[in-house]
Amino acid sequence: MNSHLSVAQSAMKNSGSYSSLEQLAAKASFSEKRPQKPLPILSRPIPKGKSEVSLSAFSFLFSEFIQYSLAKVNNITELEKRLSDCGYNIGVRMLELITYREKNYKRETKLINMLTFISYTVWRILFSKQADLLEKSTDQDDEYMISENQSLPITKFISTPREYSGLNCASFVAGIVEGILDAAEFGARVSAHSMPLEGQKQMKTVILIKFNPDVIARSNLTA
Amino acid sequence: MTIFNLFIYSRQGNCIYYEEWNRKNVSSNLDEEQKLMYGFLWQIKNFVQKSSPNPELEKTGFHFFRTNSYKLHFFETATNIKFVITSDPDAPDLRDLLKTIYKNTFVEYVIKNPLYTMGEPVRCELFVEKLQLEVRAHTSYKQK
């Protein structure tokens, strides 16, 4: 290939003015193709947010985060707390961003609307799918559940060994939900659980939302 | 054609996973057998490298060997994790199977699992489940 090129170049040199024109043309086209300088980050529009990240890369990051946290805690509850705290900060920011991008600066004020907003819009942005099921607890007035029949994408590769039984890394997602609800003035305690699914080996993931009494009282007043 | 058993060795040389399918003889001491297998692999790898016409080439590991009664396939990753599978002698080259096990099952469900410590025996449920699916679905698995 190289030898061909040099032959071609020498041929061009020999043919005088013709080659210089050719070179000029080549230069012109090159300058057109030069990439534009990217906009400074503050000048870029915020709504350009439809981007996906590699699940594999994220899994490695998440895995490293869990291992780091695991080295710092004494028991499973503390680990779940750490994961949840990390998610909380994300949730607070997510609500801000999503209300700007998707909801035209309006945020939900009704409890049910807020929950559907989480299980549709937020889920779609986080996992590019809707939550499988959103349900209200039958015996507790203040408890709602978002359940996923399969494990969430972020916990897809994680199998919990026996010594960590009860640990669910979806606590991170529970933290995100808690952050969103808290930022929207729906104080709640959110936790993640694995539950066996009838007839299937795999567990379903349940995000349990328990609202504070004042939130329920308020929603009863407005209803 | 059928598959007998699978060994996975960590880079330290410990057997981190062992599984058997249609194995015919029963091992009296599995631990000893795993160590012997590693010693044998180590020796044969060295010998193969030494007897190679260009021994300076690092990756001249062997691919498989065959006896009258079985065939042993060997695959070593760039990170020195060793995968060994034994099958009956008529089986084709199963290194592709070992590579898919490594790529689609081991990396996904063991390496990406934060609750697994490197070099420890593998006890991840998801890994075992997917491995069973993978091996049982393979064309060489069917019993005679």
Is residue A88 predicted with pLDDT exceeding 90? yes
Strand ranges in chain B using DSSP code E only, listed in sequence order: 3-9, 15-20, 64-66, 71-76, 82-87
Measure CB to CB from residue B114 to each of A63, A162, A201 and give the nearest one. Answer: A63
Q: In this structure, which topology does domain A55-222 adopt according to CATH? A: Muramoyl-pentapeptide Carboxypeptidase; domain 2 (3.30.1380)
In chain A, the residue whose alpha carbon lies closest to the alpha carbon of B123 is A161
Taking an 8 Å Cβ-Cβ cutoff, which residues of chain B contact chain A?
Answer: 108-109, 112-116, 123-127, 129
Chain A residue numbers touching B115 (CB-CB < 8 A) = 66, 70, 158-161, 164, 167
Q: Which of A56, A67, A162 sits opposite B114 (nearest CB)?
A: A67
Strands A133-136 and A143-148: antiparallel
**B123 contacts on A by Cβ (under 8 Å):** 161-162
Domain ranges of chain B: 3-137
Asked whether the predicted pLDDT for residue A12 surpasses 90, the reply is no
| Min Cα separation A198/chain B (Å) | 18
Q: Is B3-137 assigned to CATH 2.60.40.420?
A: no
Per-residue pLDDT tens over the stretch A109-153: 888 899 999 999 889 888 888 888 898 888 888 899 998 888 788
Q: Does residue B65 contact residue B73 with C-beta atoms inside 8 Å? A: no
Q: What is the pLDDT of residues A18-53, one digit of tens each?
A: 545 555 555 544 445 556 778 887 887 766 556 788
CA distance A41 to B83: 48
Alpha-carbon distance B122 to nearest alpha carbon in chain A (angstroms)? 10
A180: closest CA of chain B, how far (Å): 26
Nearest CA in chain B to A165: B115
Among the partner-chain residues B108, B123, B129, the one whose CB lies closest to the CB of A157 is: B108
Inter-chain contact A159–B114, Cβ cutoff 8 Å? no
- CA–CA dist B132, B17 (Å, integer): 13
Q: Does the distance separating the beta carbons of B109 and A60 come in below 8 Å?
A: no
Q: What global pTM score does this model have? A: 0.74
Question: Among all residues of chain B, which has the CA nearest to that of A59?
Answer: B112
What are the φ and ψ backbone dihedral angles of A179, each rounded to 5 degrees? -60, -45
CB contact under 8 A, A157 and B123: no
Nearest to B109 by CA among B82, B129, B127: B127
Q: How many whole angstroms separate alpha carbon A25 and alpha carbon A166?
A: 69
**C-alpha pair distances (Å), A3 with each of A6, A12, A20, A218, B133:** 5, 14, 21, 81, 53
Please tell me the distance in Å from A14's CA to the nearest CA on chain B.
46
Ordered mean pLDDT values, 10 residues apiece, chain B (144 residues):
87 89 81 91 87 72 87 90 90 88 90 86 86 86 67
**Which residues does chain A have within 8 Å of residue B126's beta carbon, measured at their own beta carbons?**
157-159
* Tens-digit pLDDT profile for residues A166-176: 788 889 999 99
Q: Is B127 exposed, middle or buried (0-12, 13-18, 19+ CB in 10 A)?
A: buried
Interface test with B, best of A154, A157, A167 (most B CBs within 10 A): A157
A122 touches chain B (CB under 8 A): no
pLDDT score at A5? 45
Mean pLDDT across chain A, nearest whole number?
A: 80
Produce one character per residue of A40-63: b if its CB has 16 or more CB atoms within 10 Å, e if not.
eeeeeeeeeeeeeeeeeeebeebb
Q: Mind spelling out the 3-state secondary structure of B121-142? A: CCCCHHHHHHHHHHHHHCHHHC
Q: Do B125 and A62 touch (CB under 8 A)?
A: no
Interface of A with B in 59-78 (CB under 8 A): 59-60, 62-67, 70
User: Where do the structural domains in chain A lie, given as residue ranges?
Assistant: 55-222
The span from the CA of B41 to the CA of B52, in Å, is 16
Which chain B residues have a beta carbon less than 8 Å from that of A201?
129
